Structure formats: C-alpha cells, structure tokens
Amino acid sequence: MLCDDVKRVVYFFLDGTLGENKKQDFNSHVGLCPSCQARTNVHRRLRQFIQNRLARMGAPDHLRIRLSRSIRAFRAEV
C-alpha cells in the first residue's frame, strides 16, 4: 500500500469496514511510514473528538414532561 492509498482508506480503516487483506496492508504501511502513522493518529483523534461532541444526550425531565403533555393534548383534539 502506498501513502496515497492510506489517505483514501483511512476512514474505512477507522470505521472497521476495511477488508482483512487491505487492513493488513494498511497496518504494515502505517507501521513503516511515520507520515502516514501521524496522519492516521490525527484522523483517529479528530474522529474521537467528533464522536464525543455528538454523544447522545437525554432531554431534561421538565422538557420530556411538557412534550408528553403536548402530545396527549394533541391526540385528544384529533
């Protein structure tokens, strides 16, 4: 695998959707190429940051109660 190949498939690798052969090629190349290793680490950290920021948060109790009441009132009207 070449550096350009690593650039194209890094997100597939991080998603775990890269085929087994390509995954081995990717790991071999990244193990030997400091530039691609650094790039992969940056993408990994960026991906983790985004996942943390988009983590699912529950609605506050008071909002859930208001929404439930509104939905019940709407259904009663219909």
Name the domain count of the chain: 1
Distance CA 69, CA 66 (A): 5
Tokens of 8: 């194209």
Would you say 39 and 8 are in contact if contact means Cβ atoms under 8 Å apart?
A: no
Distance CA 11, CA 46 (A): 11
Residue 59's pLDDT band, with cuts at 50, 70 and 90, is confident
Q: Which domain holds residue 9?
A: 3-77
CATH at residue 37: 1.10.10
Tokens of 21: 């052969």
Residue 55's pLDDT band, with cuts at 50, 70 and 90, is confident
Distance CA 26, CA 22 (A): 6
Read off the pTM: 0.66
